Amino acid sequence: MSRGKRVFHLLCILLPAVSVQAQTDTLVTEDITHLREVVVTGTRTPKLVKDSPVLTRVITAKDIRKLNPATFRSLLEMELPGIEFTSNANVPNINLQGLDGNYVLFLVDGERIAGETRNNIDYDLLNPNNIERVEIVKGSLSTLYGSNAMGGVINIITKKNTRPLHLGLNARAGSFGEQQYALNAGLNRGQLNSQTSALWKTIRNYTLEDREYLTRIYPDKVIADPVLRKKEVEGGKSLNLEQKLAYRFSDLLSSEVKGTYLQRERFNAGAEGTVLHNLYYSYNALLRNSLRLDERNHLDLSYNFSRYDKVNFYHRIDLKEKDYTHHLHNLRLISHNRLTSRQMLTSGAEFLSETLSTYMFQSGEKFSADSYTLYTQHDFTPAERLNLLTGVRWDKHSNYGGNLSPSVSLKYTLSRAVTLRTTYAGGFRSPSLKELHTNWDHLGMFQIIGNPHLKPEKSRTFSLSGDYSRGKMYVSASLFRNLIHDKLNLLWNAANDTIYYQNTGRQILKGAELNTAFSPLKNWKVQMGYTYTHDGRREDGRNLSYTRPHTAVFKTDYTFGKTGHRTVISLNGKYLSSTDVYSEDNEGAYYKIHYPGYSTWRLQVSRHYKDYLALSAGLNNIFNYTPAVNSFYSSGSAGRTFFISLNLDSGLIFSN
């Protein structure tokens, strides 16, 4: 029996032999609009999504449980339009509305994390089993978060135990030897709250083979590669641990301490892998104190430390050689002051210090940078239907002096069903230590040289959106425009043997997004999203960008059965449009490469027993899409794969 047939039979076994009929005790459909979710990212103060003047998208814990993703990357890909990932030398590269990872700030519980590879964080730092919700704000949030937030902020809020006693276990297996085992344990006794999480996972390498020859199209000729290429996608294994403790000393004072640890091994491919594996280590510590002065005023004081190391492990001789260390120290004081029933003032002061040592610097070199920050934000409701949010941030950087980032957001409730929002925000991004000081020979192929004379990038972002919500119907439409000055890019020299970091002028990004969620039947939910992005990277009419202009997501789930014994069938889809990308060869002639559009679909069937036991099985990429030519900018899809998982939530057993 083929693998596909075996998985299909497994899905059929999971479906219960019950009639699909209306039941008085059928599970009630939850709110699919997320408008009553509490968010903090857009304003640094808790607000319902419907009340926030800053447009915020939310992925809830229920969304995550339904999707049951293997990785945080797959969660973002399947849930949000306007986000795509490509693979650069087996490293995931994010693109958010035309901007790469340099411009997208990832936070965990509101805090920065150290480490990057090709401008992306290590996504294995993020354990999907330990996420309470993900808050996404697209567009500049530099007023609140400073540098690197020009393109948006993705804030991962980890779980906090709310039950007296809780134990959650998850096991997952899938194609290419995928195995995952997760644990979540919690204790809530009086003034003490504890949350522990652990995740161990592994997957082996697999090979992608081209079906067609890579073709370069010139105005007067077409040149095809002489051979079909193979690309090995590297697997690995990792261990992710987190411990969170919170203690309430009194009604006025509470403290929280959190520590996380990641150890990851990359199974390097080819001849290199026979002697070398890369190891990655991450250490994070957070101490946060909250002091309530009175009913109107309270203070938050926090210190965050984050460190990320890369090590070359020569496993034949058991030798470990560190070649990258990045660490951050971040001290923050925030004051929340309720001035009147209609006015809230949030002010803060921060100190951020970072140090980087990397193989991309001259041997033994280490560089540091510090920044000092003051910011304030005024939340004002002059009328019942009108909310005005204004803010300004001043950053003093050790390399670039002072920078001012203003913002203003306006929310107007036109009716009970319609809400309008508009935002203007100034943003900035200081060149990274890598962009300033790199001096690296890239495998003998070319040199990459930093530039200590780079200027900070600055941006002006404008967005306009409207929401309609009534009953089980929700529609949101938005327009955005982002103008970046002194855009920083990599440029080749005339001999094509060296790449330099340079400020190259300005870039205008613009686009539109449409999202909808509705419930055609009581237990049937549908959500769809579409984004159009034009990132302005054109020269003499030629498109130089790898951004897919059109992306869309679709997800639906249907639940049937009685309360305590139910089955959920879920279907998720992602579409990315085609694009033609122009490049210049060594002789100065332009050619284009065509990247076809594609879609991937995912089917899952889950059987739930009284909410604390769930057995799930599914197919990823059910129509078996694979790119005809695998490159840095193709999907990296391995075709159809399967998975099966078992989830036990014993905390619900105890509560029952």
Are residues 499 and 446 in contact, defined by beta-carbon separation less than 8 angstroms? yes
**Window from 82-96, 378-392, 560-574, 612-626 with minimum mean pLDDT:** 82-96
Q: So what's the pLDDT on residue 110?
A: 95
pLDDT of residue 559 exceeding 50: yes
Angle at 108 between CA 387 and CA 648, to 5 degrees: 110
Q: So what's the pLDDT on residue 27?
A: 34
Q: Please state the φ and ψ torsions of residue 285, each to the nearest 5 degrees.
A: -140, 135
More confident: 413 or 118: 413
Tell me the pLDDT tens digit for each residue of 503-513. Answer: 999 999 999 99
More confident: 562 or 180: 180
**Cα separation of 338 and 408, whole Å?**
19
Match 């799930």 to its residue by tokens.
616
Tell me the pLDDT tens digit for each residue of 268-325. Answer: 998 899 999 999 999 999 999 999 999 999 999 999 999 999 999 999 999 999 999 9
pLDDT of residue 28 exceeding 90: no
**Cα separation of 38 and 43, whole Å?**
11
Assign 651 a pLDDT band (cuts: 50, 70, 90).
Answer: low
Match 């059910």 to its residue by tokens.
622
Q: So what's the pLDDT on residue 31?
A: 64
Torsion sign, CA atoms 356, 361, 367, 370: negative
Q: So what's the pLDDT on residue 585?
A: 86
Query: Of 153, 334, 127, 137, nearest to 244 (Cα)?
Result: 127
**Cα separation of 552 and 415, whole Å?**
29
Query: Of 427, 475, 474, 431, nearest to 451 (Cα)?
Result: 431
- Which residues lie closer than 8 Å to 595 by C-beta, 6 or more apart? 546, 548, 578, 579, 580, 581, 633, 634
Q: So what's the pLDDT on residue 25?
A: 33
pLDDT of residue 525 exceeding 70: yes
* DSSP secondary structure string for all residues of 282-344: EEEEEEEEEEE-SSSEEEEEEEEEEEEEEEEEETTTTEEEEEEEEEEEEEEEEEEEEEETTEE
Strand order in the sheet with 488-492: 439-442, 446-449, 498-503, 488-492
pLDDT of residue 1 exceeding 70: no
pLDDT of residue 483 exceeding 70: yes
Mean pLDDT, the chain, whole residue set: 90
Q: So what's the pLDDT on residue 163?
A: 86
More confident: 21 or 483: 483
Tell me the pLDDT tens digit for each residue of 132-187. Answer: 999 999 988 999 999 889 999 999 999 998 888 989 999 999 999 999 999 999 99
Q: Please state the φ and ψ torsions of residue 8, each to the nearest 5 degrees.
A: -60, -40
pLDDT of residue 640 exceeding 90: yes
Q: Domains of the chain by range and CATH? A: 3-655 (2.40.170.20)
Query: Of 457, 437, 543, nearest to 504 (Cα)?
Result: 457
Alpha helix segments (H runs only) across 351-476: 433-437
More confident: 17 or 604: 604
**Cα separation of 153 and 113, whole Å?**
13
